[in-house]
Amino acid sequence: MPELVFFSGTMDCGKSTLALQIGHNRSARGLQGVIFTRDDRAGQGKLSSRLGLVTAAVEAAPGMDLYAYLVARMSQGGKVDYVIVDEAQFLAPEQIDQLARVVDDLGLDVFAFGITTDFRTKLFPGSQRLIELADRIETLQVEAMCWCGARATHNARTVGGEMVVEGEQVVVGDVNRPAEEIGYEVLCRRHHRRRMTSTSAHAGALSPDVLPVNQA
């Protein structure tokens, strides 16, 4: 049976790499797929991984009807055996509904990849809808690591190396941006709560792990 599968994880845990691998495995067996993406770090119409792999993709622009796009492509003789969607957290909830319809009405597997929460620990609307509709949710097993060595569970936005918790939900950036630019960093929950990025932790005069002591 075809499925809508949501592969989730923090930034830097290999989501795009797995998306590329799934596409490669299926194309090697003669299957043809459509890859959608939104706001990839490599630019419009591209699916890229931090390992340096890049492939062409269809930019899923705001307001685009993904179901209608696939129906039109198939009606014109195009072969579509499966669908891959990267950066799925950026899609609108109605576009996630369209992906579910692709599975149910067109009988195609849809593999969606994305992070669940933003830099404020709030669910992306697209990810929330995927959690509500997906046949399966798979958490990627490649664990990203916080600067302290613990498992990273939260995404942080940084400006000049300092964590920020206000601003637009979607600002395209990367974990490898220079410290003075808007960038992102993955943190464990403890250091996300304390807003301790790698830059601020190494620059701080006091350890964030020192417990407060009341003076008598």
Task: Note the pLDDT tens digit of each residue in 17-38.
Answer: 888 899 999 999 999 999 999 8
User: Over 50: is that where the pLDDT of 148 sits?
Assistant: yes
Q: Which residue has the higher pLDDT, 48 or 12?
A: 48
What is the Cα–Cα distance from 177 to 150, expressed in whole angstroms? 22
Q: What is the DSSP letter of 124?
A: P
Q: What is the pLDDT of residue 151?
A: 82
Residue 47 has φ and ψ, to the nearest 5°, of -115, 120
Catalytic residues: 87
Task: Note the pLDDT tens digit of each residue in 159-200.
Answer: 887 888 777 766 655 545 555 577 888 888 898 888 888 888
CB 181 within 8 A of CB 173: yes
CB 104 within 8 A of CB 134: no
What is the Cα–Cα distance from 2 to 103, expressed in whole angstroms? 6
Q: What is the pLDDT of residue 47?
A: 81
What is the Cα–Cα distance from 73 to 199, expressed in whole angstroms? 48
Q: Which of these, 40, 78, 81, lies nearest to 58 by C-alpha position? A: 40
In the structure encoding, which two tokens stand for residue 152, read together? 């990273």
- Which residue is listed with tokens 């020192």? 210
Q: Structure pTM?
A: 0.73
Task: Note the pLDDT tens digit of each residue in 98-110.
Answer: 999 999 999 999 9
CB 106 within 8 A of CB 69: no
Q: Which of these, 49, 114, 108, 102, lies nearest to 81 by C-alpha position? A: 108
* SS3 state at 93: helix
